[in-house]
Structure 1
Amino acid sequence: MDKRNHLTMVTAWISVLAGLGWVFSGVLNGWLLRSQIALPSQFVNLVVPKTFANTTWQMIQPWPVLLVVFSALALISLSALLLAFSARPTKGKTTPPHLGFLAIWMCIVIAAFGTALLTSLGDIIATWPPARLAWMLERVEPALSSAGYWGIVWGWVPALIGSRILRLAHRESSDAPESGHPRAILSFAAVLIAAVLTASLPLAEHSSQGAKASTPEPVPAPTTAPLTFGSPEVSSAFQEVGENWCTGDQVSITWGEPEGATGHRGMSFQLRNSDSTPCVVASYPDVAFDDANGNAIDVLIVQGGSFMTDDAGISSITLKPGTSAQAFLGWNAMAAAGDTRTGTMLVAPYAGTPRQSSPVDLDIIDGGAVSVTAWEPVIAAK
């Protein structure tokens, strides 16, 4: 086999190894954060960086599997394309090029950045219009940081293996006529996979929202002496209800990603009218928290704004079918050493109606305090 064919085969294996490492890190990260093993999220993210967003695992099947596969294919194709163009021979020389360890490593890091950019673009399209324009890019920086950190921490492994094999191939292979890298085919494949990955995020998001809206809320079986460790499905607090107010079984609730700045935190969540008739929201949301073990925690809920959020107060909002309102959570970073962090957040349109829940990973602990704003309409970006 000639040296060029050796280079083509080894770069293909390097790209596949990088894609497998990308999937392994992301899947293991998600499993460790959701398992019963009490490991701090900071430690997990440090050892096995998060290559897939938390929302990936909350989508309906088969989208979690498809998004993982598309993401891995994007990384593989981008790595192969970058390696192919990095191995261009010197003009006037017949010796095939030799890719060094650092060159391969940098190609893998750049491919990881490219994959994160494609995922972020698909996420922006899927959640358009954003709750606030300032939050449109809230998931981009964490995704790029995780991708770059993964490339530094784990990208060297396929780079080292590939550079060693290429060095042996360079010494032992014959000087048979060269066959060029299929750069045109690689370019077409990379563009096609990039488009599929970017387009799959909006399809996955819309499919998950549609399935959640069409699934009826389970009716709990009556019991004489319920034994509850987590937060109740309906708050015991009293809320005076107005005419045609939205109830928990008329809406679907989605959660955004938390945002941090100088020791402060903020997070948005949206309420969508999934019923066939209009309904009204005119209150503060009903919010509760469970820890990562499923036990209810005592968190003081303050109605109003915070350092990261603004509260315009209660206003009557009529939601037509398919339209949404939003609210914002704000809190200060809490010292969680030795305490179990929040693992579930429960939200209802107002106190006294069924809550909906979602897994979260927030630095909110028992005895902490958070602020919540009143429901406000979602303003479409111009």
Structure 2
Amino acid sequence: MSLPGTEAVRPRTAPTMIIAAVLAPLGGLACSVISYLMAMAAVDALPLRTLFNGPIPLQGFRPLGLVAALIGLIVIAVLVALIVWLVARAASPRYGFAAVLFGGWMAVILGGWLAALVTAPLVAMDIRFPPDMIGQMVLQRIGAGGGWGLYWGWLTGLAAAVVFLITNRGGRGGPVPGQPTP
């Protein structure tokens, strides 16, 4: 039983989830393309290469490399959508901005990490990496994916938080099932 004026309201989560699920893979793809182009142009500035090192492996346009990139994009989109949906659903409709911001940021970090982990074996097969160095390459890819999320994930988190704030302005939303309505 709730007091009058304190009804539980479920926040709107679909727009927040969709914007995060679209922005995170696009950002990962953009950083990976920039990193690939910098490598092809032989740019040797380590800070720039590190800043734009993306979670999605682009090793040319060979079939296995493109499959790895597509799988990476899907993993990022699905994981970010799931985590942002869970965070936005649990957040307060009126005061959930910070929760969605940091939850979205963490979702991108985890999405980049997992995408790199899933695609690393495909990259190793694609470029015929020496078997004794595969472990090192996998760890490097995981670090690159998580680092990308740490560097750039706040942008997705911020966009998701702004969308959450706009769509839940004034605490509007649907009533929680099972709660009495006034």
Question: Same fold by TM-score, threshold 0.5 exceeded?
Answer: yes
- Deviation per CA, 1:277-329: give whole Å up to 9, x if none: xxxxxxxxxxxxxxxxxxxxxxxxxxxxxxxxxxxxxxxxxxxxxxxxxxxxx
CA distance in 2, matches of 1:39, 1:124: 23
Say if 2:168 is the partner of 1:162: no
Cα deviation for residue 123 of structure 1 reads 4.3
Q: Is the 8 A contact 1:124 1:137 kept in 2?
A: no
- Deviation per CA, 1:7-49: give whole Å up to 9, x if none: 12211111210110000000111012213xx631413313312
CA distance in 1, matches of 2:56, 2:64: 13
Cα deviation for residue 150 of structure 1 reads 0.9
Cα deviation for residue 178 of structure 1 reads 5.2
Q: Which protein has the bigger strand share? A: 1
CA distance in 2, matches of 1:88, 1:117: 28
The amino acid that maps onto 2:68 is: L
CA distance in 2, matches of 1:160, 1:107: 12
The amino acid that maps onto 1:39 is: V
- Deviation per CA, 1:193-231: give whole Å up to 9, x if none: xxxxxxxxxxxxxxxxxxxxxxxxxxxxxxxxxxxxxxx
Q: Which moved more, 1:23-32 or 1:114-123?
A: 114-123
Unaligned runs of 5+ residues in structure 2 are: 1-8, 178-182
Q: Which protein has the bigger helix share? A: 2
Report the counterpart of residue 51 of structure 2 in structure 1.
47
Normalised by the size of structure 2, how large is the TM-score? Answer: 0.74
The amino acid that maps onto 1:32 is: M
Identity %, equivalent residues: 17
Normalised by the size of structure 1, how large is the TM-score? Answer: 0.38
Say if 2:156 is the partner of 1:152: no
Report the counterpart of residue 34 of structure 1 in structure 2.
40
Q: Counterpart of 1:139 in 2: which secondary structure?
A: helix
Cα deviation for residue 158 of structure 1 reads 1.3
The amino acid that maps onto 1:42 is: L
Cα deviation for residue 114 of structure 1 reads 0.8
> What RMSD over aligned residues (CA atoms) do the two structures have, in Å?
3.3
Report the counterpart of residue 14 of structure 2 in structure 1.
8
**CA distance change for structure 1 residues 46 and 123 in 2, over 3 Å: closer, same or farther?**
closer
Say if 2:114 is the partner of 1:114: yes
Report the counterpart of residue 131 of structure 1 in structure 2.
131
Structure with bigger gyration radius: 1
Report the counterpart of residue 68 of structure 1 in structure 2.
69
- Superposition pairs of residues 298-317 of structure 1, within 5 angstroms: none
CA distance in 1, matches of 2:126, 2:40: 25
**CA distance change for structure 1 residues 173 and 22 in 2, over 3 Å: closer, same or farther?**
same
Cα deviation for residue 129 of structure 1 reads 10
Report the counterpart of residue 103 of structure 2 in structure 1.
103
Cα deviation for residue 174 of structure 1 reads 2.9
The amino acid that maps onto 2:17 is: T
Report the counterpart of residue 5 of structure 2 in structure 1.
none
CA distance in 2, matches of 1:13, 1:114: 20
